[in-house]
Amino acid sequence: MRDFAHDEHRYAKPPEDQLKNRLTELEFEVTQHSATERPFNNKYWNHFEKGIYVDIVTGEPLFHSKDKFESSCGWPSFSKPIFKEAVKYLEDNTHHMHRIEVRSRIGDSHLGHVFDDGPDELGGMRYCINSAAIRFVPYEKLAEEHYEEFL
């Protein structure tokens, strides 16, 4: 498998004006202004089809469906990113809380937060991700969408 985690030339963040035209208002607010969508009222919180989840801004692979689990928090939850380098971490002290924000590496999209309350058998981490920050690519369309390395 080619190491797409380090292929910065394959993915690029479009200019802001293009993002405003391409993304919905919610997708733009979540990815560009660190907003949070409502729990249990988003596209992927209870979605468990086989495939991968990519950054809605750049298309960079972020999470694999095999690492997704039901957490009852109302947002998609993953035990780990698809590649360690696919995401970056920032301290977030907003809303009178101390959390670790998760952002996409190349697009710098706000994805959500990571917590240490995930299932022990999956490593103990819970990546709580906004559906508005990701796009699902079904297993059957991986080759068609040029993600054949995940087949």
Select which of 128, 132, 134, 137 is catalytic.
128
Model confidence at 9: pLDDT above 60 = yes
- Residue 79 falls inside a structural domain: yes
Whether 128 sits among the annotated catalytic residues: the reply is: yes
Q: Per-residue pLDDT tens for 109-142? A: 999 999 999 999 999 999 999 999 999 999 999 9
- Residue 7 falls inside a structural domain: no
Q: Per-residue pLDDT tens for 30-83? A: 999 999 999 999 999 999 999 999 999 999 999 999 999 999 999 999 999 999
- Residue 4 falls inside a structural domain: no
* pLDDT band at residue 6 using 50, 70 and 90 as cut-offs: low
- Residue 1 falls inside a structural domain: no
Work out whether strand 51-55 and strand 68-69 pair parallel, antiparallel, or are unpaired: unpaired
Q: CATH number of the domain at 68, please.
A: 2.170.150.20
**Token code pair at residue 127:** 């990546």
- Residue 110 falls inside a structural domain: yes
3-state secondary structure (DSSP) of residue 27:
helix
Amino acid at 83: F
- Residue 3 falls inside a structural domain: no
Looking at the 3D structure of the chain, how many domains does it have? Answer: 1
Nearest to 76 by CA among 29, 133, 140: 133
What is this structure's pTM?
0.93
Domain range holding 39? 12-150
